[in-house]
Chains A and B, each alone.
Chain A
């Protein structure tokens, strides 16, 4: 069994570099072509400012892609180890709330940034115990997590802020701003962290013993167990990592963008992140590409509004676009993807 696993890993390793090469040269080309098209499109008409428009859409894309990237990374760690995590949305919401609460109560936004991922871990621990120890169906457990997180954050928000009329302003995390020519470019701290974490995650999952074991546990837990890997430990820790990343992703909404918490402010990003993870074939770099696509859809919505004013039907279409793309991705029209073999199956030690 163990030998089979090693063989399998080697096969994956040798084919991976080729596939990745193909994938990573194709998508940047598509993206580049898209940006050139936008540049040409925005060059026509009076008062055209193609460079400013182009940079603004890149700025928007990177911003909107951030929570989806972190959510997809979160899902990647959890699912690679064999645990479906549909509770990303709830973990993000919890992170958003605790980040904002700590920021507002202490007046220190940095403390909020530090606490938020750990609140995500707290919620992830519930998911881990439910799905690994109690072997509750992982979809049900994740759904329960989402309902619980919504209730918890709403209750704590009323308790801490509404009834005492406390200041809800948590302050905002800094972002880097500079000008490319005349065009202002902006990228938030959480967005930068997300990009760094993509490469860290890629390294961990594909180039470390930890990553190999995580993947083994997600593909064939029995074989991994036989080879001496502690399946339960691997799954617990990976689900907690998942919670950490989702909690960090939540800070984008509260600490990065607006500087306060609002009920249900994650608005389905956790589910879009799951689709990005699937689209990205359970790899961090692929997830990033998918997240950028979803971010671009949302960015286009904002950009079109600022270019042409509010056109209701157009706004509706661009608003719905990421959600439609998510469904299309799942139907497999955009390339098949193979989930980790043991995902969703509770492990029972013999």
Chain B
């Protein structure tokens, strides 16, 4: 019966209804989070009707601000795709931060030594090097999980710390890769710079702190589409999603679960590494060199964005945009929203609102309960399967 009605329906209409159902809960979650955020702002003694519009203004108020927001979105899209790809295989990769750092450092080291190479070759070489760096760092927890059963949630977090100790040493006071300043390498060669698509500020006025938008943004969108295609239109994607939904069934069906686990984590690390490589090669704010401040908090933030995107690679783009917009609008909000005694609304409110968005979107059961919606059980990836090797 249900099959018959579904197929007799107009496909365009069905697609719309599906999109609405997919979009409905996340949008409702964002709305609820903003409402709770408004209550928090009120309790803190500020006016949400001042705070929210100026947050919006800070993120999208002018061409230069849109430019900034999009530039901040780029690295988030990559790291979010990294989290999503692993998640589809039932792996919770919290290690995007470490993978990004290693990828960025490797691409910087390679980029420094590409002086004589023409840009058409230098850019791909440095980029691929960064991707490989991230892939190797991501494959480690994959292998640990596949061969020793060590839970990736803990190992990736541990590897984040280990990565930051290693990079901290390499670019530290006496580090072998240290450039002119501490915590950075030498600048990469001019030929490995990723060109800028659009730079509002260089058109308007020189010497501002604006971030030009580089080609990484376009690449990020293309990669999102490719990942969607891999996950839903290829045998590899089918195997990955099967492992994610039920590893024992996958094993029974003849899928090499260990192989898929390592591949998924390596690709995940590759995407995070790409994020780091593009920041080094395309973001002038880091002066075209590796900086140890790269990637801070990207691990948990991209998890948040991935949960918001419901682990859909295409949805990762608007979700990353939302997070980047919240962050780039924060300082304007802080500046504009002044309380009775002259104090400003702390920009850290954004971190709270982000957390609330994730609570409501990740745990959509709360929303269904809040808005008295029917509870629907859908196939869910189960992450909590014990911590370590169990025989």
Query: Which residues of A come within 8 Å of B, CB atoms?
Result: 84, 86, 126, 130, 134-141, 143-144, 146-148, 150-152, 154-155, 157-159, 162-164, 268, 271, 274-275, 278, 312-313, 315-316, 319-320, 323-324, 326-327, 329-333, 336-339, 343-345
29 contacting pairs across A/B (C-beta < 8 A): A134-B369, A137-B382, A140-B362, A143-B92, A147-B358, A148-B355, A148-B358, A150-B351, A150-B355, A151-B351, A151-B352, A152-B352, A154-B352, A155-B346, A157-B348, A162-B346, A268-B157, A268-B158, A275-B158, A316-B165, A327-B155, A330-B387, A331-B150, A331-B389, A332-B388, A333-B148, A338-B390, A339-B388, A344-B382
Taking CB atoms and an 8 Å cut-off, the chain B residues in 10-47 that contact chain A are 40, 44
Contact of A139 among B92, B351, B353 (CB under 8 A): B92
6 closest A-B pairs (Cβ-Cβ)? Answer: A158-B346, A344-B384, A151-B351, A332-B389, A330-B150, A331-B148
For residue A324, which residues in chain B have a CB less than 8 angstroms away from its CB? 158, 162
Binds A, one of B128-136, B168-176, B186-194, B225-233: B168-176
Complex: chain A residue closest to B350, CB-CB:
A151
Cross-chain contact B391 with A336 (CB below 8 angstroms): yes
Contact of B359 among A148, A312, A326 (CB under 8 A): A148
Besides A148-B356, A312-B173, A330-B148, 5 new A-B residue pairs in contact (Cβ under 8 A), listed by A number: A136-B362, A147-B300, A330-B154, A344-B385, A344-B386
B159 near A: Cβ within 8 Å? yes
B349 near A: Cβ within 8 Å? yes
Interface of A is mostly: helix
Query: Which residues of B come within 8 Å of A, CB atoms?
Result: 40, 44, 92, 94, 144, 148-151, 153-155, 157-159, 161-162, 165-166, 168-169, 172-175, 300, 303-304, 307, 343-344, 346-356, 358-359, 362-363, 365-366, 369, 380-391
For residue B173, which residues in chain A have a CB less than 8 angstroms away from its CB? 312
Contact of B343 among A126, A137, A164 (CB under 8 A): A164
User: In the complex, A138 Cα to B151 Cα: how many Å?
Assistant: 14
For residue A154, which residues in chain B have a CB less than 8 angstroms away from its CB? 346, 348, 351-352
Contact of A144 among B172, B353, B355 (CB under 8 A): B355
Complex: chain A residue closest to B150, CB-CB:
A330
Cross-chain contact B174 with A312 (CB below 8 angstroms): yes
Complex: chain B residue closest to A329, CB-CB:
B388
Complex: chain A residue closest to B140, CB-CB:
A327
Report the minimal beta-carbon distance from B105 to chain A, rounded to whole angstroms. Answer: 14
Cross-chain contact A326 with B158 (CB below 8 angstroms): yes
For residue A331, which residues in chain B have a CB less than 8 angstroms away from its CB? 144, 148-150, 388-389
User: In the complex, A88 Cα to B154 Cα: how many Å?
Assistant: 12
For residue B348, which residues in chain A have a CB less than 8 angstroms away from its CB? 151, 154-155, 157-158
Cross-chain contact B389 with A134 (CB below 8 angstroms): no
Report the minimal beta-carbon distance from B216 to chain A, rounded to whole angstroms. Answer: 25
Cross-chain contact A330 with B355 (CB below 8 angstroms): no
Complex: chain A residue closest to B351, CB-CB:
A151
Cross-chain contact B158 with A327 (CB below 8 angstroms): yes
Complex: chain A residue closest to B144, CB-CB:
A331
Report the minimal beta-carbon distance from B322 to chain A, rounded to whole angstroms. Answer: 15
For residue A135, which residues in chain B have a CB less than 8 angstroms away from its CB? 365
Report the minimal beta-carbon distance from A270 to chain B, rounded to whole angstroms. Answer: 10
User: In the complex, A274 Cα to B389 Cα: how many Å?
Assistant: 15
Cross-chain contact A326 with B94 (CB below 8 angstroms): no
Complex: chain A residue closest to B151, CB-CB:
A330
Complex: chain B residue closest to A278, CB-CB:
B387
Report the minimal beta-carbon distance from A289 to chain B, rounded to whole angstroms. Answer: 17
User: In the complex, A204 Cα to B333 Cα: how many Å?
Assistant: 50
For residue A126, which residues in chain B have a CB less than 8 angstroms away from its CB? 359
User: In the complex, A150 Cα to B362 Cα: how many Å?
Assistant: 17
Cross-chain contact A137 with B380 (CB below 8 angstroms): yes
- A339 touching B383 in the complex, CB below 8 Å, given contacts A144-B362, A146-B300, A326-B158: no
For residue B344, which residues in chain A have a CB less than 8 angstroms away from its CB? 163
Complex: chain B residue closest to A150, CB-CB:
B351
For residue B153, which residues in chain A have a CB less than 8 angstroms away from its CB? 86, 139
Report the minimal beta-carbon distance from B365 to chain A, rounded to whole angstroms. Answer: 4
User: In the complex, A142 Cα to B150 Cα: how many Å?
Assistant: 18
For residue A274, which residues in chain B have a CB less than 8 angstroms away from its CB? 154, 387
For residue A130, which residues in chain B have a CB less than 8 angstroms away from its CB? 359, 363, 366
Cross-chain contact A137 with B384 (CB below 8 angstroms): yes
For residue B158, which residues in chain A have a CB less than 8 angstroms away from its CB? 268, 271, 275, 323-324, 326-327
Complex: chain A residue closest to B40, CB-CB:
A155
User: In the complex, A336 Cα to B369 Cα: how many Å?
Assistant: 41
- A134 touching B157 in the complex, CB below 8 Å, given contacts A143-B303, A316-B166: no
Report the minimal beta-carbon distance from B353 to chain A, rounded to whole angstroms. Answer: 8
- A140 touching B383 in the complex, CB below 8 Å, given contacts A130-B363, A323-B158: yes
Cross-chain contact B161 with A323 (CB below 8 angstroms): yes
For residue A268, which residues in chain B have a CB less than 8 angstroms away from its CB? 157-158, 161
User: In the complex, A274 Cα to B304 Cα: how many Å?
Assistant: 22
Report the minimal beta-carbon distance from B344 to chain A, rounded to whole angstroms. Answer: 6
Report the minimal beta-carbon distance from A312 to chain B, rounded to whole angstroms. Answer: 5
User: In the complex, A86 Cα to B382 Cα: how many Å?
Assistant: 15
Which residue of B40, B154, B385 has the most chain A CB atoms within 10 A of its CB atom? B154
Cross-chain contact A147 with B382 (CB below 8 angstroms): no
For residue A136, which residues in chain B have a CB less than 8 angstroms away from its CB? 362-363, 365
Report the minimal beta-carbon distance from A327 to chain B, rounded to whole angstroms. Answer: 5
User: In the complex, A313 Cα to B356 Cα: how many Å?
Assistant: 41
Complex: chain A residue closest to B303, CB-CB:
A143
Cross-chain contact A152 with B355 (CB below 8 angstroms): yes
Cross-chain contact B159 with A320 (CB below 8 angstroms): no
Report the minimal beta-carbon distance from A98 to chain B, rounded to whole angstroms. Answer: 15
Report the minimal beta-carbon distance from B349 to chain A, rounded to whole angstroms. Answer: 5
Cross-chain contact A320 with B165 (CB below 8 angstroms): yes
Cross-chain contact A313 with B169 (CB below 8 angstroms): yes
Contact of A163 among B162, B343, B353 (CB under 8 A): B343
Report the minimal beta-carbon distance from B331 to chain A, rounded to whole angstroms. Answer: 13
Complex: chain B residue closest to A151, CB-CB:
B351
User: In the complex, A331 Cα to B148 Cα: how many Å?
Assistant: 5
Cross-chain contact A275 with B92 (CB below 8 angstroms): no
For residue B350, which residues in chain A have a CB less than 8 angstroms away from its CB? 151
User: In the complex, A288 Cα to B343 Cα: how many Å?
Assistant: 46
For residue B389, which residues in chain A have a CB less than 8 angstroms away from its CB? 330-332, 336
User: In the complex, A148 Cα to B357 Cα: how many Å?
Assistant: 10
- A158 touching B154 in the complex, CB below 8 Å, given contacts A134-B366, A137-B380: no
Cross-chain contact A155 with B386 (CB below 8 angstroms): no
Report the minimal beta-carbon distance from B297 to chain A, rounded to whole angstroms. Answer: 8
- A326 touching B369 in the complex, CB below 8 Å, given contacts A137-B383, A141-B363, A336-B391: no
For residue A140, which residues in chain B have a CB less than 8 angstroms away from its CB? 307, 362-363, 383
For residue B149, which residues in chain A have a CB less than 8 angstroms away from its CB? 331-332
